[in-house]
Chains A and B, each alone.
Chain A
Amino acid sequence: MTLNIEKDVLMLMLERMWRIRHFELKLTEMYGAGEIGGVHLYIGQEAVAVGACAAMDDSDYIAGNHRSHGHPIAKGANLKKAMAEIFGRIDGYCKGKGGSMHLADFSVGILGESGIVASSVPVATGAALASKLEGKKFVSAVFFGDGASNQGACHESMNLASVWNLPTIFICENNQYAVTTSYRDTVAVEHISDRAQAYNMPGVLVDGQDAIAMYEATREAVRRARNGEGPTLIEALTYRFEEHSLGLEKIRKSVYREDKEIDEWRLRDPLEILTKNIVDTGMATQAECDAVSTAVQVEVEEAAEFARNSPFPDESELYKDMFSSEMPVV
């Protein structure tokens, strides 16, 4: 097997995917121990964020959603500050004011993670507008789910990006369920990527479990965007291995998806797929790949310890950041 992709990119993707996986597994453990509240896990979808971000530069922007621990980590965010934010501590990215659904590190080109689904789609489109107006080369990508793809904000933004020929990359992570509702019951076309036709942009359906496929599709979208050829819609077909959020395991009782379906998708674990691809090319051995996972686990443990030891924001923080400068308290 040969790949049109360099070893350092593959190993970086593997490392970042393990960082996300171990981060999420640690959160699951800490939730069980009562250390944190319910959060939306990214387990099963790691290849989407990591494959896409690996095809972008540091100067490019991304925006995410409520299920977005993976996106900042994929873009290079620091795990300690991410974990501290989930703990609501002063050393978190947002000084404890955002929490799990707003895990944004602006220093690595994150424009925000929105708790209102699709709400960050126009924002990312606007960053791309700035790039075009200023004659810059950066691109802006936004990750949103199959549920969000039905929001007007998505449709308005795709149309806007197309008529203005903006360097925007719309990445729909179709994990197939909006909480408990299948996209097959809510999306009128067979594939969400089919909608691109209505906005006169390329629509690409990608195996979201395959980081290399995500990387390649995004690389082409980035090339087009930087070249002034306009936006692309990428649908990454993926699967949410866990429930909508930690603490919502009870919704399994509604049997909105069969155990058999979950088991089948778990066989398509994005980490196993990438590891196998790397090993098959001979670029690295299984042992080298395993070592990446082990090293990252240590980093995640350190992040958890850092978060636990960080103080809560004190009262002096309450009114700070409402505005850019001092305002009278009303």
Chain B
Amino acid sequence: MTEKMFMQALGMGIAEEMRADPKVFLMGEDVRASVYGAAAGLHDEFGDDRILNTPLSENGFFGAAVGAAAVGMRPVVETLTSFMWVGMDQLVSQAAKMRYMFGGQATLPVVYRAVMYYGGGSAAHHSDRSYPVFMNIGGLKVVTPGTPADAKGLMKTAIRDDDPVIIFEDGTLLGTRGDVPDEPDFFVPFGVANILREGTDVTLVAIAGSVPHALAAAKELASEGVSVEVIDPRTLVPLDKETILSSVAKTGRLVVADPAAKVCSAASEIMSIVGEEAFWDLQAPMQKAASKQVHIPFAQSLEKLVYPSKEGIAESIRKTLD
């Protein structure tokens, strides 16, 4: 174990997989200079043939990654969540649908790394938290690491996975630190939630950048005598609903913290599952601590009101105890 930043852990995961398999290559805008950080050092180690700077043509290179994957390569594509809209046709019509539409003939081991910047005064065109959209499409695995260790372990699993994976790299977490296993055989499986803190009174599911706020809120509630269980699902497709349902069976209360806008969010889906499958376990109405349903305003005075904060999450927890 070594303490690493989340961003470094992502890079470690990519580098280890590139060393392990010559079919893995990275492409995206400005990846050689690693403008977004996680690809630091990769160009020095792997050179021009495996670290490809692309033109600003998301539809073109998202699709080129699909084609390269279809003939046996394992491309890793770096982009920003907000630029994914530009290449949506290739993500939806090709990456997501090819396997099913062609009756299983296409195998597409492609990873899209969606750097998810928000919260830093970047306004509406650079602040998307779009993973719920991709949960809805189907055919894509949707990964949202919340800790540095998971950033590495999920990245490695994503690159070895034979299906298209989108890994959302939460910008608010990139500078966070934590212990990361050094071993190159460290993998975090998809579809297995992580119980970050055990508790008995309230289940708090926290997604991506909500994780640190959820842990802080749980700590605050503990000082008030409330025991909060914090669960990070880590992957939204596939979703480990059993861990969430068995926690709710124990606590009878559910709060979901989700940086995505609240309508049709990941929180919506999780609450819907609990409503359908565990209604009688609930002792209080479920609470959604998601982002407000607005575009991201530039002014800090407004932007800070949008996302789920420690205070907002704590407030939601208290509501389940009223």
Residues of A whose CB lies within 8 Å of any CB of B are: 61, 63, 92-98, 102, 104-106, 111-112, 114-116, 119-131, 133-134, 140, 152-153, 156-157, 159-160, 163-164, 320-325, 327-328, 330
Do residues B238 and A126 form an inter-chain contact, with CB atoms below 8 A? no
Docked pose: A321 CA to B239 CA in angstroms: 18
Q: Which residues of A contact B138 (CB under 8 A)?
A: 322
Q: Which residues of B contact A130 (CB under 8 A)?
A: 67-68, 71-73
Docked pose: A133 CA to B68 CA in angstroms: 10
Which 8 A-B residue pairs are closest in the complex by CB-CB distance?
Answer: A126-B67, A122-B63, A156-B60, A126-B64, A94-B103, A95-B103, A156-B57, A123-B67
Do residues A97 and B103 form an inter-chain contact, with CB atoms below 8 A? yes
Return B55 CB to nearest CB of chain A, in Å.
6
Docked pose: A92 CA to B104 CA in angstroms: 12
Docked pose: A163 CA to B53 CA in angstroms: 11
Tell me whether B247 is interfacial, beta carbon within 8 Å.
Answer: no
Return A250 CB to nearest CB of chain B, in Å.
28
Do residues A126 and B162 form an inter-chain contact, with CB atoms below 8 A? no
Q: Which residues of B contact A328 (CB under 8 A)?
A: 191, 238-239, 241
Residue of A nearest to B69 (CB): A126
Supplied contacts A119-B93, A160-B61, 19 more A-B pairs, CB within 8 Å: A63-B67, A95-B103, A97-B100, A98-B103, A112-B70, A114-B93, A121-B63, A122-B63, A123-B66, A123-B70, A123-B90, A127-B67, A129-B64, A156-B59, A156-B60, A159-B60, A160-B54, A322-B139, A327-B191
Return B157 CB to nearest CB of chain A, in Å.
13
Docked pose: A124 CA to B65 CA in angstroms: 10
What sequence of 0s and 1s flags, for each residue 121-160 of chain B, a beta carbon within 8 Å of any chain A beta carbon?
A: 0000000000000000011010000000000000000000
Tell me whether B264 is interfacial, beta carbon within 8 Å.
Answer: no
Tell me whether B99 is interfacial, beta carbon within 8 Å.
Answer: yes
Do residues B63 and A157 form an inter-chain contact, with CB atoms below 8 A? yes
Tell me whether B105 is interfacial, beta carbon within 8 Å.
Answer: yes
B residues 219-247 with Cβ under 8 Å of A? Answer: 238-239, 241
Q: Which residues of A contact B168 (CB under 8 A)?
A: none
Do residues A112 and B99 form an inter-chain contact, with CB atoms below 8 A? no
Docked pose: A310 CA to B1 CA in angstroms: 58
- Contact A126/B65 with A93-B103, A321-B103, A324-B163 known, Cβ cut-off 8 Å: yes
The listed residue with most A CB atoms (<10 A of its CB), out of B59, B72, B93, B99, is: B59
Docked pose: A112 CA to B75 CA in angstroms: 19
Tell me whether B249 is interfacial, beta carbon within 8 Å.
Answer: no
Q: Which residues of A contact B68 (CB under 8 A)?
A: 126-127, 129-130, 133
Pick 14 A–B contacts, CB within 8 A, sort by A: A111-B67, A111-B70, A111-B71, A115-B93, A119-B94, A122-B61, A123-B94, A126-B67, A127-B68, A127-B71, A152-B59, A160-B54, A160-B60, A323-B99
Q: Which residues of A contact B60 (CB under 8 A)?
A: 122, 125, 153, 156-157, 159-160
Return B100 CB to nearest CB of chain A, in Å.
5
Contact residue among B57, B62, B102 (Cβ-Cβ distance under 8 Å from A102): B102
Return B178 CB to nearest CB of chain A, in Å.
28
Return A220 CB to nearest CB of chain B, in Å.
23
Residue of B nearest to A157 (CB): B60
Residue of A nearest to B191 (CB): A328
Residue of A nearest to B67 (CB): A126
- Contact A106/B55 with A111-B67, A123-B70, A325-B162 known, Cβ cut-off 8 Å: no
Do residues B73 and A123 form an inter-chain contact, with CB atoms below 8 A? no
Contact residue among B65, B67, B73, B100 (Cβ-Cβ distance under 8 Å from A321): B100
Do residues B99 and A156 form an inter-chain contact, with CB atoms below 8 A? no
Docked pose: A291 CA to B284 CA in angstroms: 79
Tell me whether B117 is interfacial, beta carbon within 8 Å.
Answer: no
Docked pose: A121 CA to B62 CA in angstroms: 11
Do residues B71 and A61 form an inter-chain contact, with CB atoms below 8 A? yes
Q: Which residues of B contact A92 (CB under 8 A)?
A: 103
Q: Which residues of A contact B50 (CB under 8 A)?
A: 133
Docked pose: A125 CA to B69 CA in angstroms: 12
Do residues B105 and A104 form an inter-chain contact, with CB atoms below 8 A? yes
Docked pose: A6 CA to B61 CA in angstroms: 39
B residues 82-103 with Cβ under 8 Å of A? Answer: 89-90, 93-94, 98-103
Residue of A nearest to B58 (CB): A156
Residue of A nearest to B56 (CB): A156
Q: Which residues of B contact A125 (CB under 8 A)?
A: 60, 63-64, 67
Q: Which residues of B contact A122 (CB under 8 A)?
A: 59-64, 66-67, 90, 94
Tell me whether B25 is interfacial, beta carbon within 8 Å.
Answer: yes
Docked pose: A152 CA to B239 CA in angstroms: 35
Q: Which residues of A contact B94 (CB under 8 A)?
A: 112, 114, 119-120, 122-123
- Contact A119/B63 with A114-B93, A159-B55 known, Cβ cut-off 8 Å: yes
- Contact A97/B101 with A123-B63, A133-B25, A156-B55 known, Cβ cut-off 8 Å: yes
Q: Which residues of B contact A102 (CB under 8 A)?
A: 101-102
Tell me whether B322 is interfacial, beta carbon within 8 Å.
Answer: no
Q: Which residues of B contact A119 (CB under 8 A)?
A: 63, 89-90, 93-94
Docked pose: A95 CA to B102 CA in angstroms: 8
Tell me whether B49 is interfacial, beta carbon within 8 Å.
Answer: yes
Tell me whether B282 is interfacial, beta carbon within 8 Å.
Answer: no
Tell me whether B200 is interfacial, beta carbon within 8 Å.
Answer: no
Residue of A nearest to B100 (CB): A321
Do residues A127 and B101 form an inter-chain contact, with CB atoms below 8 A? no
